[in-house]
Amino acid sequence: MSSNAELQARRQKAVPRGVSNSLAVYAERASNAELWDVEGRRYIDFASGISVLNTGHVHPKVAQAIARQLEKFTHACFQVTPYESYVALAEQLNGLAPGATPKKTIFLTTGAEAVENAVKIARFHTKRSAVIAFSGGFHGRTLACISLTGKVSPYKSGFGPMLPEIFHLPYPTAYHGVTVEDCFVALDRLFKADVDPARVAAIIIEPVQGEGGFYAAPPELLRRLRTVCDTHGIVLIADEIQSGFGRTGRMFAVEHSGIEPDLITIAKSVAGGVPLAGVIGKADIMDAPAAGGLGGTFAGSPLACAAGLAVLEVLREEQLLKRAQDIGRFMSSRLKGLQVRFPCIGEVRNLGAMVAMELVKNARADSPDAELTKALVQAAGRHGLVLLSCGVYANVIRFLAPLTITDALLKEGFHLLELALDEVAGGVAAKATG
């Protein structure tokens, strides 16, 4: 049996450092919200492989669907000899996407690919080229996606030049004093000083910023962006790759604002751990590119589509949207309790089960504590809890437990979190007695 240390030494020789690891913990097996490493140690998983496992590790229904498909065929390529599961999954997603306008769906393999395709479709439809994105946003690691992404290091620096005609607006973050008004003042100025709105193909926004720090867009922002897009013939793209598939208590986070985006990008939790991404959109926009202009060899693979159909069944049968709301309430109330003991927790925020705490020095929003955040992730790992950080200033812990997690594991996870916080931050009460 290999140890984590042995595997880490091999990894350092064989795999480039550009692919980072949160923990030097090598997974051996996993089930629902638990994971065991190669040394037999058990972890509670509050990361879900970056939001991929809303239905948990190896959900029996998803595993059965994949096994059944494995017995039939693993690959045909939808562009060569199509198969029903792709069509059936598209039909279901078209019905689930918000708004009354008829929809169509294309499947791809990764989130970045979904974003690339959404931009291609918007450009073809509008015959325009510029795209507006948001500061702090994250859209993937391909060249178009890093151009859209609003965080320089480590995503953009050294990889330029970026795609031309990409502009960024401020994303409202109440904790940092950035308002919806700031965003529209910047947009107004952008249209006056930098780009004619008639050249703008798309505005792309995460309804809840993921990598950027788990900030939810105020509903007013999304509604006003919808109006701007309608006024200028711009395609509104909601990037729901991290916020979608029940995570926020609705199928898509954008539903909290009541708007209908033109295109929605999906990935991560769509197929319970099998790579699958897609773009769902208004049918007339989706049909703009000519035959052959979209697709991909592995895009919408039969294994992924079978898993995707099973994931939708699980979301319905286990009422995971409601469960997301319950998990969100539990987590945010526990974190607010911890905030009293640990002044380093500057803010606790959530939309459903997309929960975060921001760690700061001296209780000041403008003093991010990236060191402490890093230390907490490592300490939690030592206590048997997988945590993930995020944020433009790398000072946010995001909580992404599977929506299928049991109450007992949730509670145990928070106990481990408290132990880790005690270790690296020393609670107020702990200091008084220590």
Ligand X SMILES: Cc1ncc(COP(=O)(O)O)c(C=O)c1O
Residue of the chain from 112, 121, 288, 385 that contacts ligand X (CB under 6 A)? 112
Residue of the chain from 166, 180, 222, 241 that contacts ligand X (CB under 6 A)? 241
Residue nearest to ligand X (CB): 111
**138 sits near ligand X (criterion: CB under 6 A):** yes
**150 sits near ligand X (criterion: CB under 6 A):** no
**48 sits near ligand X (criterion: CB under 6 A):** no
Sole window of 4-12, 238-246, 309-317, 361-369 interacting with ligand X (rule: CB under 6 A):
238-246
Sole window of 26-34, 235-243, 248-256, 396-404 interacting with ligand X (rule: CB under 6 A):
235-243
**332 sits near ligand X (criterion: CB under 6 A):** no
240 vs 260, beta carbon nearer ligand X: 240
**271 sits near ligand X (criterion: CB under 6 A):** no
**140 sits near ligand X (criterion: CB under 6 A):** yes
Inter-helix orientation angle 84-96/302-317, to 10°: 40
Rounded to a whole number of angstroms, the minimum distance from the CB of residue 145 to ligand X is 7
**116 sits near ligand X (criterion: CB under 6 A):** no
Rounded to a whole number of angstroms, the minimum distance from the CB of residue 114 to ligand X is 7
Count residues binding ligand X (CB under 6 A).
Answer: 15
In total, the chain counts a number of residues equal to 434
Which phi-psi region, left, alpha or beta, contains residue 89 (left: φ > 0; alpha: ψ -120 to 50)? alpha
Rounded to a whole number of angstroms, the minimum distance from the CB of residue 415 to ligand X is 28
Which single residue is written with the structure tokens 């990894």?
Answer: 11
Residue of the chain from 25, 47, 50, 146 that contacts ligand X (CB under 6 A)? 50
**256 sits near ligand X (criterion: CB under 6 A):** no
Q: What angle do CA 94, 110, 269 make, to 5 degrees?
A: 60
Q: How far apart are CA 220 and CA 60, in angstroms?
A: 40
Contact 81, 74 (CB under 8 A): no
Residue of the chain from 65, 93, 259, 267 that contacts ligand X (CB under 6 A)? 267
The secondary structure of 210-244 as a DSSP string is TTTT-PBPPHHHHHHHHHHHHHHTPEEEEE-TTTT
Burial tier of 163 (Cβ tally within 10 Å: 0-12, 13-18, 19+): middle
Q: How far apart are CA 235 and CA 334, in angstroms?
A: 40
Which single residue is written with the structure tokens 């953009």?
Answer: 156
Contact 369, 360 (CB under 8 A): yes
Give φ, ψ of 254 to 5 degrees: -65, -20
**242 sits near ligand X (criterion: CB under 6 A):** yes
Residue of the chain from 35, 62, 115, 280 that contacts ligand X (CB under 6 A)? 115
Q: How far apart are CA 287 and CA 124, in angstroms?
A: 10
Rounded to a whole number of angstroms, the minimum distance from the CB of residue 212 to ligand X is 9
205 vs 424, beta carbon nearer ligand X: 205
Q: List contacts with ligand X (CB under 6 A).
A: 50, 110-112, 115, 138-140, 206, 210-211, 239, 241-242, 267
